[in-house]
Amino acid sequence: MSDSLLLTDSDDPNIDAAIALIDGVSVQRVQTDGLAGAVTEEGVRGVLIESEDPVALRSVVEAAHAAGVPVIVACADDTTRRRAVELKAEEWYRCPATVDEISQRVRSAIARGAPPAQQSADRVERVEYEQMLHDSLTGLPTLPVMIERSRGLFKERGELMVLYLNFVRYSKIEEIYGWEKLDAVLETTAAAVREFLDDTALSTSRVMVSFTNDDDFIFFHIPASGVSAATESEITEMVSRLQRHVGARIEAQHGEEIAALFDIYVGRAHVYYNPKIRLERLIYRGIREAANASRSIEERERARRVADLRASLRDRGVYIDYHPIVVTETRKIFGYEALARGVLRSLRSPEVMFDVAAEADLVWELSRLCRSKAIEGIETRLQPDEVLFLNVDPHDFSDPAFNEDEVKFPERVVIEITERTAIKDYPKFRERLRAFRERGFRFAVDDAGSGYAGLGSIANLEPDFIKLDMSLINAIDTNFIKQNLVETMVKFANDHGAKVIAEGVERADEFKTVGDLGVHFVQGFFLHRPANLPLSATPPRRERQVSARQAP
């Protein structure tokens, strides 16, 4: 056993003493830049690295792991320690360390370096635990880790402020665009939050962030000793800067559609150290208080939006953006999907607008306004051979004001019905569809394939068009299961005399892939963004003003 070696670049005499406690292992000193090369040598059972150079650290860890040799990192500071954990070094300790501590770390690392058969269960468990400590997407520590880290500082300074950042409508992003998109948005958000903290000095205080799996972020703000915590106005100012910063980042990377969905409400709570109460409990109470505060701000904000919506309905404050749908082969515009937007900034996003309407029981009224605005466009903005795709909620069919005679050119309207809404009274619904169909309207199933339901429910609606859900199109060029699903859908459509539309095509590779798969029409930022269409050259008859106000 005496031929087992521990390589190290450290001069720490404690290491020699520590290794002397371990049977059959001796120390061999190697320059930092020689470590990576030396790990493959006969008898090497472990590497202990002290260098703070991140490049050296990485290359040593990688070389050692490739050779099946465990690594111990002697960390001079927190940064090195974090790197060690990220690189999955088997062990680490803080310098300076006692002989006992070092020998324990080395012993346990060498034990872990044993063949995987014995240790596999441990390793799996460790991988899992590590994933629990740091959120894999955002790279931020989870709450228990952050509480541990802030413990000492909180005790010493006696005061801690909790900021709870409630990101609303992130679940909506997942629902509409799929989890990959939400993951990407969260990543952007976390990066933006970290960036912001790096640039923001709240005196010399410590600020830490953690991520809850509920898509929210928690800040701990611990004032520097002798300095009082940030004032209300400082915090308010910081929050609004943070909001702008994150919003701008999201818009830059994911477009305004997604940025329009984004909102942060920040609640705060002060916690004072009290030796009689367990520290975790104090902090958790603070977090709860801050979370509640953020929710009550959210409620207030909602009430304001409802007022905005009422005003918009009164003033017909909705305009339409038209998003082209093109023929895949020729890229010629076939028609437009009408997307309603609120004139008021707070109601710009249609999702937000309809959310607010649902809360205030104004869905029919808002739908009527959006519909009449969109239908006006057929005469005033579209070319005579172009078709209008109109989003209609299945619930709208029970609105007596919505009927098959409302529109002058039914053959130029395709009604989009989303697969997401559950339809309650199916026979009645189909009867309504038939009435519309007889007048010449066509139908599209929107968000097709978003659920788990498959093709049966689509067949039930006998659609003329099938609009594939964006989550199937996003990165379809690299995912063969998505390609397979879309292929199935195209075949199904061809068998049933329907046409397939791919929504959310954002990149050339996605465009090419859906084209190869036989998708008939394409819609998405790769070709066009939704935009306001100018009034067409030939002025339509004046009476459209009247017909647009038909709704009671």
Partner 1 sequence: MNVGKHPAILVVDDNHDNAEIIRQYLEIRGYAVTVAHSGDEALALYERVRPAVVLLDVMMPGRDGWEVCKIMKQHPTLGRTVRVIMVTALDEWQDKREALQLGADDYVEKPFDLPTLAATVERNLAMQRANSA
Residues that bind partner 1 (CB under 8 A): 62, 65-66, 68, 86, 88, 116, 119-121, 123-124, 127-128, 131, 134, 136, 139, 179, 449, 451-455, 471, 478-482, 484-485, 488
CB of 471 to partner 1, least distance (A): 8
CA distances from 385 to 323, 337, 411, 413, 533 (A): 16, 15, 11, 11, 15
Which of 142, 488 has the CB closer to partner 1? 488
Phi, psi at residue 401, to the nearest 5°? -75, -15
CB of 116 to partner 1, least distance (A): 5
Q: Where are the beta strands (DSSP E) in 30-178?
A: 44-49, 71-75, 91-94, 159-168
Which of 252, 453 has the CB closer to partner 1? 453
CB of 451 to partner 1, least distance (A): 8
CA distance 8 to 150: 32
CB of 435 to partner 1, least distance (A): 30
Which of 171, 478 has the CB closer to partner 1? 478
Which of 58, 544 has the CB closer to partner 1? 58
CB of 262 to partner 1, least distance (A): 24
Which of 121, 358 has the CB closer to partner 1? 121
Which of 226, 480 has the CB closer to partner 1? 480
Which of 123, 302 has the CB closer to partner 1? 123
Which of 86, 462 has the CB closer to partner 1? 86
CA distance 492 to 421: 22
Which of 59, 403 has the CB closer to partner 1? 59
- Helices 78-86 + 54-66 axis angle, to 10: 30
DSSP symbol at 422: P
Which of 87, 551 has the CB closer to partner 1? 87
- 3-state secondary structure (DSSP) of residue 391: strand
Residue 405, both tokens: 């005679």
**500, 493 Cβ separation under 8 angstroms:** yes
Nearest 5°: the CA angle 243, 246, 251 is 115
Nearest 5°: the CA angle 165, 171, 173 is 110
CB of 125 to partner 1, least distance (A): 9
CB of 150 to partner 1, least distance (A): 23
CB of 475 to partner 1, least distance (A): 10
What burial letters (b/e) apply to 455-475, b meaning 16+ CB within 10 Å?
beebeebebbbbbbbbbbbbb
CA distance 463 to 103: 71
CA distances from 85 to 68, 82, 93, 135, 150 (A): 17, 5, 11, 13, 18
Position 208, amino acid: M
**Burial class of residue 267, CB neighbours in 10 A (0-12, 13-18, 19+):** buried
Please give the helix or strand (H or E) that residue 5 lies within, else none: strand 4-8
CB of 129 to partner 1, least distance (A): 12
What burial letters (b/e) apply to 223-240, b meaning 16+ CB within 10 Å?
beeeeebbeeeebeebbe
CB of 38 to partner 1, least distance (A): 18
